[in-house]
Homo-oligomer: A and B are copies of this chain.
């Protein structure tokens, strides 16, 4: 049921972690605003950043832009643009995740009505108040014909993603619940976290442990030992699909760790 990073007491040595593409898609799935960068027409020659609302239909960002806005005029002249999304909750901005999607803006007005309908639906689900103006004649929904994706996961963790890595990855289904799970574990199950570190992490001198992350593949803890702090990632033996599966896994691990340490 569990895999640890150290060899001693674990079923397997490899602990799967989310890929950069998965991190990027997870961030996108929760994004509400983005910076749209376009080629400025007036003054010409400058990249122009502007704030936009965004919602994702799977891998496709959906924007709602007014013909009257500067960025839309810029896109009419040159449809090449990028969309930068940043983790809203990052306390230390540079340690937070962000994603830049580079591509060509495509109006859904030019595409079949099913695609346009779906774009409208996806956008309004995230931004219900846009229903006040989204049907004005100067507003249109836009998608992005993707060229490449830049992911930055914090200091020194970054990569270019191909369009297919981006498209074929799935957002983490646990992400919307991660804060709740982490708070619950740290507040009510601190003893179990210590047991996990001792039983599965091979850190027998664990004094206390704090859960810091949880995702579909496992979870991470900041571990205090007699020697100082270290980080430990433990993996679930199977990818979890929902919050109930996380709960089952953590309860199972609690029982199992007590048995091992007995």
Task: Classify chain A: how many residues form its interface, as a range.
Answer: 35 or more
Contact, CB under 8 Å: A46 / B94: no
Contact with B along A70-88 (1 / 0, CB 8 A): 1000000000111110100
A98 in contact (CB, < 8 A): yes
Contact with B along A15-34 (1 / 0, CB 8 A): 00000000000000000110
Within A67-115, the residues touching B (CB, 8 Å) are 70, 80-84, 86, 92-94, 96, 98, 100, 102-103
Contact, CB under 8 Å: A94 / B53: yes
Q: How many copies does the complex hold?
A: 2
A162 and B51 alpha carbons, distance in the complex (Å): 21
A237 in contact (CB, < 8 A): no
Leading 4 A-B pairs by shortest Cβ distance: A49-B84, A47-B47, A37-B47, A35-B35
Chain A interface (Cβ < 8 Å from any Cβ of B): 32-33, 35-40, 43, 45-51, 53, 70, 80-84, 86, 92-94, 96, 98, 100, 102-103, 129, 147-148, 150, 152
- Give me 21 A-to-B residue pairs in the complex whose CB atoms sit less than 8 angstroms apart, sorted by A's number: A33-B93, A35-B35, A36-B49, A38-B47, A43-B147, A46-B80, A46-B81, A46-B82, A47-B49, A47-B80, A47-B82, A48-B82, A49-B49, A49-B83, A50-B152, A51-B84, A51-B86, A51-B93, A51-B94, A51-B152, A53-B94
